[in-house]
Amino acid sequence: MNSKELKKLDRQHVIYSWKAQGQVDPIVLDRAEGIYIYDMEGKRYIDGCAGLLNVNIGHKNRHVLEAMKAQMEKLSYVGPMFATEPKARLAAMIAELTPADLDYVFFTNAGAEAVENAIKAARWYTGRHKIYARWRSYHGATAGAITLTGDPRRWPAEPGIPGVVHFFGPHPYRCPFGSQDSEECGEKTLEVLKTQIMLDGPKTIAAIFMEPIVGTNGIIIPPQNFMTGLRQICDENGIMLVIDETMAGWGRAGKWFGIEHYGIVPDIITTAKGITSGYIQLGAMIWSKKIWDYFYDHPFTGGLTYAGHALACATGIANIEVYKKDKLIENSAKNGEYLNSRLQELKEKHPSVGDARCKGLWACIELTSDKKTRAPLAGFADSVKNVSVGLTKIFYEHGLYLFSKWDYIFISPPLIITQEQIDDMIAAIDKGLEYTDSQI
C-alpha cells in the first residue's frame, strides 16, 4: 500500500487521542533509525521530541533489539504471580539507580497506571484520603491521573475522582504571586501552600504529587528552596511525597532522575517512558522502605495482567545497559548545555520568544506577543490564537518533528543527539520562529 491508501485506511478506522477525529491528519511514517524518522516517501525528519519524550536511546538500537528477540525466544509473558529473571533483575537495577531506599518496584504498563497505583498506596499507607497536585501539571489520562492533572486536559474529565486538591507550584517566569525572582517565587509559593494545608487539615492529606520539573506544561523548573520546603512540609505532617518521573526520569533532565537535581528523597516515585525508551510499554511505581514495610503485612490490592511483563522487563534491562555503555545521561547533561546556549541565542533574536527553559536535553520555548509584559501569543489552551498548527507545518517542511501546543515549543531529542544535529534542529526552529514573530 502507498501512503495515500494507508492514510485512507487509517482515517476510516483508527481513533486518535485528544482531538476531534475529523481534525486528524497524520503523516504516515515508515521507519526510524537513530534520531530520525522517515515517511513513506523517504523524507527524513529529526525526531525532535524523541517520540513522546520517551525514545531516549534513539530508534532501532541493535543491543535492545537483540535482547528483545532473545527474550521472546525464551519467554514473552507469564502471569504476574510468577517470578522471572527479567522482572527480578530489572527491579534490582532500578533500585540501584533510584535515590536512597527507593528499592521496591511495582511494574505497570505506563505512567498513568503508575500514578493510579501510587494514589492507592499513599491512601492505604496513611489512612487519609486527600491527594494534592499542582496547577500546570500532567499525570496521565486515566481517571485518577487526569483528576490530578492541573491543565485543560482535566476539564472534560471533571468531576473526576474525589479528594483531589490543586495548589500553585512555583513558576519563575509566571509566578502566581507576582515575583520575578525564582527563589523569591519559591518562598512565596511555599508560604501559600503551608497556609492552604493548614486550612485544609494536614491530617486529611495522604500525598502531594509533583513532577520534579514540570513537563508538558512548559518545562517549569522549581527553585531549590521550594523543593526543600516541600519535603519538610511532608515530613512535618506525615504526608507522602510522590514524585512523578514519567517524563523527567531516565536522563531526560541530565541525571538519572529529575529529583536528583534537588537532593531530596521522595516516598514514592512513579515512572515510565524512558524506562524502555518506547521499544515496548512499561511503567513503574517505586516505594521507599517504609512503604514496603507497611505492605509487608498489609495486602497491596492492585493488579494488572501485564505487571512485570517479561519481554518489557528484558527490554528495560537492555535499555539501561545502553544508557550506561553509551554514557547517555552524561551526554544529556553536556549537550543539554549546548542546546540551552543555542536556545538563548534564539531568545535574543526573536521578539516572539519570551523564555527558553532547558534542563538536560529537555527544553521549552515559551512564546509571547510582548517580551516586556510577557503577554501570551497563543494563550493558555489557545485562548488567543492557535499557532502550533502553522509551526508544525514549517518544522515538517524543514525536516523536523517537534511537539508544540499553546505557547510552548518542546525540544527533547533522543539523548544520542550530537551538537551538529542540534544545530540542524536550531536552524529549523529559527524558521518556525520567523513565523511566530509575524503573528505578533
Q: Note the residues at the interface with ligand PLP (CB under 6 A).
A: 110-112, 115, 138-140, 211, 215-216, 244, 246-247, 272
What is the closest distance, in whole angstroms, from the C-beta atom of residue 423 to ligand PLP in the complex?
Answer: 28
d(CA 312, CA 275): 10
Q: Which is nearer to ligand PLP, 141 or 384 (CB)?
A: 141
What is the closest distance, in whole angstroms, from the C-beta atom of residue 284 to ligand PLP in the complex?
Answer: 11
What is the closest distance, in whole angstroms, from the C-beta atom of residue 208 to ligand PLP in the complex?
Answer: 14
Q: Which is nearer to ligand PLP, 247 or 269 (CB)?
A: 247
DSSP labels, 317-378: HHHHHHHHHTTHHHHHHHHHHHHHHHHHHHHHH-TTEEEEEESSS-EEEEEEEETTTTEESS
- Which residue's CB atom is positioned nearest to ligand PLP? 111
Q: Is the peptide bond before 159 cis (omega within 30 degrees of 0)?
A: yes
CA atoms within 13 A on the CB side of 63: 16
What is the closest distance, in whole angstroms, from the C-beta atom of residue 52 to ligand PLP in the complex?
Answer: 6
Q: Which is nearer to ligand PLP, 147 or 369 (CB)?
A: 147
Q: Which is nearer to ligand PLP, 244 or 355 (CB)?
A: 244
d(CA 138, CA 153): 8
Is 378 in contact with 385 (CB distance < 8 Å)?
A: yes
What is the closest distance, in whole angstroms, from the C-beta atom of residue 267 to ligand PLP in the complex?
Answer: 17
Phi, psi (rounded to 5 degrees) for 238: 65, 30
Is 379 in contact with 407 (CB distance < 8 Å)?
A: yes
Q: Which is nearer to ligand PLP, 284 or 433 (CB)?
A: 284
What is the closest distance, in whole angstroms, from the C-beta atom of residue 251 to ligand PLP in the complex?
Answer: 15
Is 315 in contact with 321 (CB distance < 8 Å)?
A: no
Q: Which is nearer to ligand PLP, 36 or 403 (CB)?
A: 403
Residues facing residue 368 across a β-bridge: 376
Q: Which is nearer to ligand PLP, 86 or 249 (CB)?
A: 249
What is the closest distance, in whole angstroms, from the C-beta atom of residue 216 to ligand PLP in the complex?
Answer: 6
Q: Which residues contact 393 (CB under 8 A, 6 or more apart)?
A: none
Q: Which helix (H) or strand (E) holds 189?
A: helix 182-200
